[in-house]
Amino acid sequence: MTANHLTFHVAIVGGGLVGKSAALALAQAGQRVALIAQPAAPRPADVPFDARIYALSASSQALLERLRVWQALDHDRLSPVYDMRVYGDAEAELHFSAFQATVPQLAWIVESSLIEHALDAALRFSPQVTWFDARAQGLDVKPDVAHVALTSGQVLEADLVVGADGAHSWVRAQTEAQVKRRDYRQTGVVANFKAARPHGETAYQWFKDGEILALLPLPDGHVSLVWSAETEHARELLALEPAQLAAAVERTTHGRLGELECVGPAHGFPLALQTVDRLIAPRVALIGDAAHLIHPLAGQGMNLGLRDVATLADVIARKEPFRDLGDPVLLRRYERARREDIGALMLATDGLQRLFSVPGTLARSVRNFGMSLVGAQPLVKRWLVTAALG
Ligand SMILES: Cc1cc2nc3c(=O)[nH]c(=O)nc-3n(C[C@H](O)[C@H](O)[C@H](O)COP(=O)(O)OP(=O)(O)OC[C@H]3O[C@@H](n4cnc5c(N)ncnc54)[C@H](O)[C@@H]3O)c2cc1C
């Protein structure tokens, strides 16, 4: 092993939360890991909360606990979700409650940068992980090994390359995986507000004119907005002054949380559905948004990616000693284990998005009737909560 030619069991390309979690999980499974990623940007100093917020399910919490990252988070900055209220575009309303579902909480609302900094700290203390602050720019897969060339000039040798490099995955583009992408022609507008009325640890969601607006609880009476708005409308929303944006949210949510005060800049993320026909290729596994991209209406993209991590780590931890990490049998085990979960969430989120996009009075009556039916069926509601908890 020379300074420019280094050997690892696995090379992980991409340092979003999914890639960094994968590095820790695979190190914990006893592997020598190369992580090709940028360190986290400094936490935003002049705003109370990061604009990127995730609703994390029990399965994500369990993984982060196993990685000893959850314990390192500042718990005063997390908000549990005990209730969820969903309003249809007519009279229908659905209420999910942690109490009725007999679970401690439905989700946790966590800032992205909070987790990322905790992951970075844990990675720096992990002797099994070597961090390369560079980008991957060359992949050469041989029958017995893969080589990853970095922008720093270094070349890494690994049994397995994990593509955790997001929706526009460079790793995936080096394989023969076929990608189908459908633009929702919507942008996710995110911003944080201080609310005049208490949110009661409740997540609210309104479906209106094909758009979906969610307000998620944050500590100290704050809420986080995710407004999946038609592209043109999102452009208008993003151009508004903070007070005007707050007023627009108040109007659309019928003043449910009283007066809102914007406490940081708004950001927009284009929304698309993306399916990938193979999660694996010779000596390559795809995880996170590199493997699947879904609408954020159910707040499940990150949860899905972290479940990819848990499954990949599990497959590797249980491997027979004679197999190396790039063994096609292991890769197929990973792919098989993930197909159902990914397929089900794609179907559910895409189906809901389409259902509420159909214009007209009849369509509106049908979907609101459907929501009322679900609301009247405790068993169906319980099943939905269990599915969302992962
Ligand atoms: C508005 C909105 C709200 C959402 N809310 C939720 C929620 O509440 N709950 C939830 O579970 N999910 C949510 N999601 C989904 C979630 O944001 C994504 O699923 C998640 O961020 C994907 O993480 P990732 O690590 O796979 O990819 P990314 O975060 O995209 O990270 C990929 C990383 O790879 C790096 N990279 C790319 N190419 C290379 C290369 N060649 N070499 C090295 N590095 C490279 C990139 O710089 C980046 O750092 C939401 C999404 C949106 C748009």
Tell me if 71 is assigned to some domain.
no
**Could you tell me if the CB of 210 is within 6 A of ligand 1?**
no
My answer on whether 367 and 384 are in the same domain is: yes
Q: Of the given ranges (37-51, 106-120, 200-214), which has the lowest mean pLDDT?
A: 37-51
Contact of 9 with 325, CB cutoff 8 Å: yes
Q: What pLDDT was estimated at residue 179?
A: 98
CA distance 324 to 330: 9
Residue 243's closest CA among 259, 222, 219, 221? Answer: 259
Tell me if 102 is assigned to some domain.
yes
Nearest 10 degrees: Cα torsion 266, 289, 88, 205: -40
Tell me if 72 is assigned to some domain.
no
Q: What pLDDT was estimated at residue 351?
A: 78
Q: Of the given ranges (156-160, 246-250, 297-301), which has the lowest mean pLDDT?
A: 297-301
**Could you tell me if the CB of 22 is within 6 A of ligand 1?**
no
- Helices 17-28, 58-66: axis angle to 10 degrees equals 50
Q: What pLDDT was estimated at residue 377?
A: 64
**Could you tell me if the CB of 289 is within 6 A of ligand 1?**
yes
pLDDT tier at 210, thresholds 50, 70, 90: confident
| One-letter-per-residue 3-state SS of the chain | CECCEEEEEEEEECCCHHHHHHHHHHHHCCCCEEEECCCCCCCCCCCCCCCCEEEECHHHHHHHHHCCCHHHCCHHHCEEECEEEEECCCCCEEEEECCCCCCCCCEEEEEHHHHHHHHHHHHHCCCCEEEECCCEEEEEECCCCEEEEECCCCEEEEEEEEECCCCCCHHHHCCCCCEEEEEEEEEEEEEEEEECCCCCCEEEEEEECCEEEEEEEECCCEEEEEEEEEHHHHHHHHHCCHHHHHHHHHHHCCCCCCCEEECCCCEEEEEEEEEECCCEECCEEECHHHCEECCHHHCCHHHHHHHHHHHHHHHHHCCCCCCCCCCHHHHHHHHHHHHHHHHHHHHHHHHHHHHCCCCCHHHHHHHHHHHHHHHCCHHHHHHHHHHHHC
For position 303, which CATH number holds?
3.50.50.60
Instruction: Report which residue type is found at 39.
Output: P
Residue 20's closest CA among 150, 107, 126, 151? Answer: 126
**Distance from Cα 16 to the centre of ligand 1, integer Å:** 6
My answer on whether 188 and 315 are in the same domain is: no
Share of the chain above pLDDT 90, in %: 78
**Distance from Cα 3 to the centre of ligand 1, integer Å:** 31
Q: How many domains does the chain have?
A: 2
CA distance 46 to 247: 22
My answer on whether 266 and 285 are in the same domain is: no
Contact of 204 with 85, CB cutoff 8 Å: yes
Q: Which residue(s) pair with 171 in the sheet?
A: none
My answer on whether 226 and 266 are in the same domain is: yes
Output the residue whose Cα is nearest ligand 1's atom 48: 16
> Taking 80 as the threshold, does the pLDDT of residue 366 lie above it?
no
**Among 165, 212, 306, which is best to mutate for testing ligand 1, by the most ligand atoms less than 8 A from CB?**
165
**Could you tell me if the CB of 288 is within 6 A of ligand 1?**
yes
Q: What pLDDT was estimated at residue 378?
A: 66
Q: What is the mean pLDDT of residues 250-276?
A: 96
CA distance 317 to 185: 41
Tell me if 74 is assigned to some domain.
no
Q: What pLDDT was estimated at residue 202?
A: 97
The pLDDT tens digits of the residues spanning 374-383 come to 666 666 666 6
My answer on whether 277 and 267 are in the same domain is: no
My answer on whether 158 and 204 are in the same domain is: no
**Chain centroid to CA 231:** 21
The pLDDT tens digits of the residues spanning 55-106 come to 999 999 999 999 999 999 999 999 999 999 998 877 778 888 999 888 999 9
My answer on whether 35 and 133 are in the same domain is: yes
Residue keyed to tokens 């092993």:
1
My answer on whether 201 and 345 are in the same domain is: no
Output the residue whose Cα is nearest ligand 1's atom 53: 269
My answer on whether 131 and 242 are in the same domain is: no
**Distance from Cα 289 to the centre of ligand 1, integer Å:** 6
> Taking 60 as the threshold, does the pLDDT of residue 4 lie above it?
no
My answer on whether 126 and 264 are in the same domain is: no
Could you list the residue range(s) of the whole structural domain that residue 31 is in?
Answer: 5-45+114-180+273-353
Q: What pLDDT was estimated at residue 298?
A: 85
Q: Which residue(s) pair with 213 in the sheet?
A: 206, 227
- Give Cα separations from 227 to 44, 179, 224, 375 (angstroms): 22, 26, 10, 24
Output the residue whose Cα is nearest ligand 1's atom 14: 301
Tell me if 73 is assigned to some domain.
no
Q: Which atom of ligand 1 is nearest to the CA of 289?
A: 26
pLDDT tier at 44, thresholds 50, 70, 90: confident
**Distance from Cα 169 to the centre of ligand 1, integer Å:** 11
pLDDT top residue among 243 and 390 = 243
pLDDT tier at 282, thresholds 50, 70, 90: very high
**Could you tell me if the CB of 226 is within 6 A of ligand 1?**
yes
Contact of 294 with 300, CB cutoff 8 Å: yes
**Chain centroid to CA 30:** 26
**Could you tell me if the CB of 268 is within 6 A of ligand 1?**
no
Q: What is the mean pLDDT of residues 6-23?
A: 97
Q: Of the given ranges (172-176, 213-217, 349-353), which has the lowest mean pLDDT?
A: 349-353
**Among 302, 303, 304, 306, which is best to mutate for testing ligand 1, by the most ligand atoms less than 8 A from CB?**
302
**Could you tell me if the CB of 161 is within 6 A of ligand 1?**
no
**Could you tell me if the CB of 131 is within 6 A of ligand 1?**
no
Q: What pLDDT was estimated at residue 137?
A: 97
